[in-house]
Chain A
Amino acid sequence: MKKRMALLMTGVLAVASLAGCGGSKTSATTAAPETTKETQTTAAAKQDGGKLTMSWWGNQVRNERTQAALDLYAEKNPGITIEGQFSEWSDYWNKLATSAAGQSIPDIVQMDYMYIDQYVKNDLLVDLKPYIDDKTLDVSNITENTMATGTVEGGVYAICAGINSPAMMYNKTLLDQNGITVKDYLTIDEFEELCRQIYKKTGYKTSIVYGTAQTYLDYFMRAYDVVLFGDKKMGGTKESYIPFFEMYTRGLKEGWLIDPGVFAEISVGSVEQDPMVYGSSPDTMSWCAFANSNQLTAIQKAAPEGVTVGMTTWPSPDPKKSGYLKSSQFFSIGAHTKNAEEAVKVLNFLVNSSDANNILLGERGVPASSKIAEELSPKMDPINQEIIRYINEVITPNSSPINPPQPDGASEVFNLLNQVQEQLCYGAYDAATAAEEFYNGANKIMSQK
């Protein structure tokens, strides 16, 4: 078929050039066979059994370090080559979904908690349990809580690539100058009092997960023992969601909540444009940002010169109940792999090998293996040491296992949540209406799944 196509193509081109009364010449004719030749070699190489692929999203540093670690593995295991495929976050998921449709997802994939449930339910990831049992994959140094983050319905489908936890970043310099201190485990009342005080003293406002409310709502509701998603319905009652939205209405009334118009002028979700580090006046800026512990490095880097970033827990009606450890991302094995055994070995190498982690240097978060984390700790910079301290001392003693991963339909529910939040902040809804719109709408979405 391929050959015939190529022939046909050259044929058409030949006609095109010959038709030119013998005079016209198209350079295209010569270019075409070249393409075919070059691309055929790629196809041939792909059939090679010793060739694995691993895909991930990330930045320049991650791309370089991960590929270097993979190359090290290939060096130690002659006959094996591992090709790294990296993309930008949203591109990554488009590509992965498309290749899933084509039954050809890479051997090793970086996974996120947001997507894991759907990939597992559609049989796209390999259950790692057998490999753990036969010791191909060593998880002896990983805590049960951490392993639980990659467990779906009894099967282990993902290994934590870096531990992190929700963390609120704040402008420590600003608060120090005004004699305000922030303690860990803030309750909502304490948090709001703080917001009021800071607004009065400095004019800086507060930004509360505008446009990205999903994770915080989940965290918030844990304090009331409400799990966001039930079986084809939402957890709790519509009344249980009112306190969350009331926080916004109070903030709007008292003036300390940042104006929603500000978020139309930035890219929501981009660290560099978070109102905490980006803005021209206190009026459009926030003293804090809801983030994850592993983002401390990025936020500190993005902060204006002279600003030190502090880190504490997210406020919650009951912070110790809300707190949990999670994985910044996972490593999983794609179900279409031809060499699962080898892929698992690579995974084991990335998780447990000191050599590999000396290259990776905890770029994805605190290493899952406590042994590796201990080894790496002295080599890390002060910011990463602070992250390890936060995870070990602030969160670990006061946390419970994370909620089950989000089911199919969750992303639509979250979109609805952010739309309701937008209506609320623009003053179209009050807290009760927002809770009702969200609860009913979300239930409808879930019931159709």
Chain B
Amino acid sequence: MNWGRVGSAPFFEIFSLRTEGTYLNHRKRESFRQFMNKESTAGFVFSLPFTIGFFVFMVVPMGLSLFYSFCDYNILAPPVFVGAKNYIKMFTDDVIFLKTIGVTFYFALVSVPLRLVFALMVALILYKTTRITGFYRAAYYLPSIIGGSVAVAILWKRMFATDGVVNQLLRLSGVNSSFPWLGNVNTAIWTLIILAVWQFGSSMLIFLSSLKQIPVTLYEAARVDGAGKVSQFFRITLPLLTPTIFFNLVMQMINGFLAFTQCFIITQGKPLNSTLFYTVYMYQQSFEFYNTGYGAALAWVMLAIIGFITMILFATKRFWVYTGGV
């Protein structure tokens, strides 16, 4: 292929017109072109939309919410600065806070790995493109599309109800069960974990699109060496997928700790706060009890927790993530 240079010209002309008028000597133009094509300038230009977006749309609201976390604020009246009061209360005088931390860690640490394993397995199974796999992929992706709709909330409760589908299936297989899955403090969280795992579609899609990046030639070479399917998976697919696995892990961990919908639409924390997610508690504080300052403080503590976990993940990256390029 011919990597022509024609295309870059109009871009510079815009700049030269703006800065120096229509006439420019060749040299000046050349030096400007060189400046624009310097790695550092290019990086700056490319990241400019995000830089602007971050400072304009994120920094101000984030800063405000950080400020609120040091205030008594009930939305309806202006915030009053109270120092670290909210943070102190959280760690010394709030049992539910500790409870929700426990619930959230349990949920995230169980559901995220399960979800990733499922997503990867299904992606591998549906990787082969035949006319029908398109529909299979759609079927496996659908649960993620309906997401947090009311229908899911109602159905999920029906399924795990004492007289629901799950118990009926158990009875069919010989176990006489009328177990109240949703009403029991130990099992209720699992109905939410299953819901989260069921919606593995987004990770699956990302796995699917990265599987394509693995060059077919590698597999061909391996086949010539006499490697079987299993050994191909462990020697080629898995190592080359590690960057994507890492990406999914980081993203899903963040999502897992910030999970909201499952609890909000289905259990609302019942029974006995055994399924109360951190973010739902934060929401209650902010919008139901109007302790918005306290809610903001809760959010920033969560940010610190997630930030710390992400840092640890990034620190482990060099031990298991393949970075050699293809």
Interaction A to B: yes
Do A265 and B76 touch (CB < 8 A)? no
Tell me which of A15-23, A129-137, A315-323, A370-378 binds B. Answer: A15-23
Q: Given A21-B4, A97-B76, does the pair A261, B11 have CB atoms closer than 8 Å?
A: no
Do B182 and A264 touch (CB < 8 A)? yes
Task: Find the residue from B14, B157, B183 having the highest chain A CB count within 10 A.
Answer: B183
Task: Find the residue from A20, A98, A263, A265 having the highest chain B CB count within 10 A.
Answer: A265
Q: Does B49 contact A (CB under 8 A)?
A: yes
Do A21 and B8 touch (CB < 8 A)? yes
Do B271 and A264 touch (CB < 8 A)? yes
The residue on B at minimum CB distance from A281 is: B163
Q: In the assembled complex, which residues on chain B have CB atoms less than 8 Å from the CB atom of A19?
A: 8, 11
The residue on A at minimum CB distance from B180 is: A261
Q: Report the separation of the CA atoms of residues A8 and B270 in the bound assembly, to the nearest whole angstrom.
A: 49
Q: In the assembled complex, which residues on chain B have CB atoms less than 8 Å from the CB atom of A268?
A: 268
Do B284 and A415 touch (CB < 8 A)? yes
CB distance from A205 to the nearest CB of B (A): 14
Pick the residue among A280, A415, A422 that contacts B288 (CB under 8 A): A415
Q: Does B287 contact A (CB under 8 A)?
A: yes
Q: In the assembled complex, which residues on chain A have CB atoms less than 8 Å from the CB atom of B75?
A: 97-98, 100-101
B147-192: which have CB < 8 Å to A?
153-154, 157-158, 160-164, 180, 182-184, 188
Q: Does B74 contact A (CB under 8 A)?
A: yes
Q: Report the separation of the CA atoms of residues A263 and B290 in the bound assembly, to the nearest whole angstrom.
A: 26
Do A94 and B287 touch (CB < 8 A)? yes
Q: Is the interface of A mostly helix, strand, loop or mixed?
A: helix
Q: In the assembled complex, which residues on chain B have CB atoms less than 8 Å from the CB atom of A8?
A: 52
Q: In the assembled complex, which residues on chain A have CB atoms less than 8 Å from the CB atom of B160?
A: 265
Q: In the assembled complex, which residues on chain B have CB atoms less than 8 Å from the CB atom of A118?
A: 74, 76, 290
CB distance from A303 to the nearest CB of B (A): 18
CB distance from B92 to the nearest CB of A (A): 13
Q: In the assembled complex, which residues on chain B have CB atoms less than 8 Å from the CB atom of A262?
A: 162, 183
Q: Report the separation of the CA atoms of residues A43 and B10 in the bound assembly, to the nearest whole angstrom.
A: 37
Q: Given A260-B271, A426-B271, does the pair A411, B8 have CB atoms closer than 8 Å?
A: no
Pick the residue among A93, A267, A419 that contacts B273 (CB under 8 A): A419
Do B11 and A12 touch (CB < 8 A)? no
**A-facing mask of B25-61, CB < 8 A → 1, else 0?**
0000000000000000000010011001000000000
Do B45 and A261 touch (CB < 8 A)? no
Q: Does B6 contact A (CB under 8 A)?
A: yes
The residue on A at minimum CB distance from B158 is: A265
How many residues on the A side are at the interface (Cβ–Cβ under 8 A)? 44
Q: Report the separation of the CA atoms of residues A94 and B76 in the bound assembly, to the nearest whole angstrom.
A: 11
Q: Report the separation of the CA atoms of residues A265 and B4 in the bound assembly, to the nearest whole angstrom.
A: 65
Q: Report the separation of the CA atoms of residues A338 and B183 in the bound assembly, to the nearest whole angstrom.
A: 51
Q: In the assembled complex, which residues on chain B have CB atoms less than 8 Å from the CB atom of A342?
A: none
Do A265 and B182 touch (CB < 8 A)? yes
Do A280 and B163 touch (CB < 8 A)? yes
Do B157 and A266 touch (CB < 8 A)? yes
CB distance from B7 to the nearest CB of A (A): 2
Q: Given A98-B75, A118-B76, does the pair A408, B290 have CB atoms closer than 8 Å?
A: yes
Q: Does B132 contact A (CB under 8 A)?
A: no
CB distance from A327 to the nearest CB of B (A): 21
The residue on B at minimum CB distance from A265 is: B161
Q: Does A190 contact B (CB under 8 A)?
A: no
Q: Report the separation of the CA atoms of residues A118 and B292 in the bound assembly, to the nearest whole angstrom.
A: 14
Do A260 and B183 touch (CB < 8 A)? yes
Q: Does A42 contact B (CB under 8 A)?
A: no
Do B11 and A265 touch (CB < 8 A)? no
Q: In the assembled complex, which residues on chain A have CB atoms less than 8 Å from the CB atom of B74?
A: 118, 122, 408
Do B76 and A284 touch (CB < 8 A)? no
Q: Does B244 contact A (CB under 8 A)?
A: no
CB distance from A237 to the nearest CB of B (A): 24
Q: Given A22-B6, A124-B76, A266-B157, does the pair A12, B271 have CB atoms closer than 8 Å?
A: no
Q: Report the separation of the CA atoms of residues A409 and B290 in the bound assembly, to the nearest whole angstrom.
A: 8
Q: Does A423 contact B (CB under 8 A)?
A: yes
Do B6 and A261 touch (CB < 8 A)? no
Q: Does A119 contact B (CB under 8 A)?
A: yes
The residue on A at minimum CB distance from B154 is: A267
The residue on A at minimum CB distance from B283 is: A94
CB distance from B63 to the nearest CB of A (A): 16
CB distance from A233 to the nearest CB of B (A): 18
Q: Report the separation of the CA atoms of residues A97 and B7 in the bound assembly, to the nearest whole angstrom.
A: 53
- A residues near B (Cβ < 8 Å) are 8, 12, 14-15, 18-23, 93-94, 97-98, 100-101, 118-119, 122, 124, 211, 259-268, 280-281, 284, 408-409, 411-412, 415, 419, 422-423, 426, 428
Lowest 4 A-B CB distances belong to which pairs? A21-B7, A261-B183, A264-B182, A122-B76
12 pairs of residues in contact across A and B, judged by CB atoms under 8 Å: A8-B52, A15-B11, A15-B14, A22-B6, A22-B7, A22-B10, A97-B290, A265-B158, A265-B160, A265-B162, A265-B183, A419-B273
Apart from A97-B76, A264-B270, 20 more pairs, CB < 8 Å: A8-B52, A12-B49, A12-B52, A18-B10, A21-B6, A100-B75, A100-B76, A118-B74, A264-B182, A264-B271, A265-B160, A265-B180, A267-B153, A412-B289, A412-B291, A415-B284, A415-B289, A422-B271, A426-B271, A426-B272
